Amino acid sequence: MSPSSSSSSTGPMGVAVSPEVEAALARGGAVVALESTIICHGMPYPKNLQTAMEVEAVVRENGAVPATIAILNGVPHVGLSGEQLKSLAVSGRQFQKTARRDIAHVVASGGNGATTVSATMFFAHKVGIPIFVTGGIGGVHRNGEQTMDISSDLTELGKTPVTVISAGVKSILDIPRTLEYLETQGVTVAAYKTNEFPAFFTEVSGCKVPCRVDSPEECAKIIYANKNLHLGSGILIAVPIPKEHAASGNAIESAIQKALKEAEDKNIIGNAITPFMLDRVKVLTGGSSLEANIALVKNNALVGAKIAVALSDLHQRVTNRFRRSAL
Nearest to 302, CA basis, from 137, 56, 23, 36: 56
| Annotation marks residue 35 as catalytic | yes
Q: Which of 22, 56, 156, 170 is catalytic?
A: 170
In sequence order, the β-bridge partners of residue 173 are: 141
| Annotation marks residue 170 as catalytic | yes
Exposed/middle/buried for 2, CB within 10 Å: 0-12, 13-18, 19+?
exposed
Eight-class DSSP state of 137: -
Q: Which of 35, 56, 156, 203 is catalytic?
A: 35
Judge contact between 243 and 194, C-beta under 8 A: no
- Among the residues of the chain, which ranges form H helices? 19-26, 37-40, 47-61, 82-91, 103-108, 117-127, 144-147, 152-159, 175-184, 216-228, 246-265, 273-285, 289-326
Contacts of residue 143, defined as CB under 8 A and 6 or more positions apart, other chains included, come to: 149, 174, 269, 270
Query: Catalytic residues, which ones?
Result: 35, 170
